[in-house]
Amino acid sequence: MKFFTKMCGVAVMALSMMGTVASAGTIEDIRARGVLRVPAILNEVPYFNKDPRTGEWQGFVIDMANDIAKTLDVKVEIVESSWSNAILDVQSGKVDLAFAVTATPARAMSVSFSDPTYYNSFIIVSSKDELANKTWGELNDPKYTFAVDLGSAQDLITQQYLPKANILRFKTRDEAIVAVTTGKADGLVNTMLNGLVISKKAPGIGSVRVPTPVLSTPSVIALNYGADDVFSSFVSAWAEYNRRIGNNQTWIVKSLEPSGISLDDMPVGFGFGG
C-alpha cells in the first residue's frame, strides 16, 4: 500500500510538472508573476546601458521591453546575460523573451522567432576612401583585410560574401576595432547600428561604407518553443505594429542620441523600418 501511495504521489508530481511546462510562456503566467523577464547585456550601447551609480538600465531594448510590459500591465525584470547566453536563457525559461536577435537556421532549432522589430544592414567601417562605393564582389579580394568579431552575424556575412578576402576574427568587437585603428585591417565588418556608434566612439577607425547590394537582416524577438500561441501572436503583432508606425525606429534613434548620432548620420535612403 505504501508503495502504491508513493507511486501515486510521483505520478501527481509528474503531471503537475507537465502542466507547468505546457503553460510556460503564457500571458497568464507573466501577469501572475507581475514581471516580464528580459536578458540585458552590460556596456552594449545603444541596446543596453546600465548606470553604475543608480543601477538603472537604459537603451532601446529596454524601451521596447517596457512598452510590452506596459501593455501586459506588469513590470520589467532585467536578467544580466550576454549575447551568447541570451538564447540559452530563453530556451531554459530563465527569461520570457530576448530582443535584438538575428534569426538563423541554427538558432531556430533552439527558439522560435517573432516578426521583425527592425532591420539592420551590414556595412564596413573604414578610413580608406578606396572602399567607398564598392560591391561585395569587388571587396571579395585577397588584397583586402577585414576584421570581425568571431561567431557574430557579421562573421557569417564575411564567410558568405568575402571568402577570398583576408578575414581576421577576434573574440570581442573591441579587439576587432583595435585591429582596424592600428592598421592591421582595412576595415571592420559590422551592422549599420553598431557601425554608427563605433565610428563616433573611435573616430580614427573611419566612417560607415555601404557595399552593394545592400544586405539587410531582420532583428527579431526570441521566444521559448513552450510559449503558447496567444503569447507568440501577441509578441509578433507588437513587433509588426511598432515597426510599421515607426515607434521602434524612434526608440533606436533616441538611444543613439547620447552618442551624438541622429538620422542625419545615416546614409541616404536608410532607416531601420525595412
What average pLDDT does the segment 43-56 reach? 93
**In this predicted structure, what is the pLDDT of residue 20?**
37
**In this predicted structure, what is the pLDDT of residue 19?**
38
**In this predicted structure, what is the pLDDT of residue 153?**
87
User: Given this chain, do its domains 26-118+217-265 and 121-216 carry the same CATH topology?
Assistant: yes
Taking 90 as the threshold, does the pLDDT of residue 228 lie above it? yes
| 189 contacts 212 by C-beta, under 8 angstroms | no
Which has the higher per-residue pLDDT, 130 or 266? 130
**In this predicted structure, what is the pLDDT of residue 12?**
40
Q: 225-235 as b/e, with b when 16 or more CB fall inside 10 Å?
A: ebbbeebbebb
CA of 36: how far to CAs of 43, 58, 72, 101, 162, in Å?
22, 16, 9, 17, 40
Q: Which one of 3.40.50.1110, 3.90.220.20, 1.20.1250.20, 3.40.190.10 gives the CATH number of domain 121-216?
A: 3.40.190.10
- Tens-digit pLDDT profile for residues 79-106: 999 988 999 999 999 999 999 998 889 8
pLDDT class of 24 with cuts at 50, 70, 90: low
pLDDT class of 115 with cuts at 50, 70, 90: very high
Of the candidates 127, 118, 119, 137, the one whose C-alpha atom is nearest the C-alpha of residue 209 is 127
Which has the higher per-residue pLDDT, 267 or 248? 248
Cell 521559448 identifies what position?
224
What average pLDDT does the segment 189-210 reach? 93
Domain boundaries, the chain: 26-118+217-265, 121-216
Question: Average pLDDT, whole number, for the chain?
Answer: 89
- Tens-digit pLDDT profile for residues 143-187: 999 999 988 889 989 999 999 999 999 998 999 999 999 999 999
What average pLDDT does the segment 185-212 reach? 94
**In this predicted structure, what is the pLDDT of residue 2?**
41
Which has the higher per-residue pLDDT, 37 or 264? 37
Which has the higher per-residue pLDDT, 131 or 268? 131
Name the E strands within the chain.
35-40, 49-50, 57-58, 75-80, 97-102, 112-113, 118-126, 145-149, 166-170, 187-191, 207-209, 216-223
**In this predicted structure, what is the pLDDT of residue 186?**
98
DSSP class of residue 241 equals H
CATH topology of domain 26-118+217-265: D-Maltodextrin-Binding Protein; domain 2 (3.40.190)
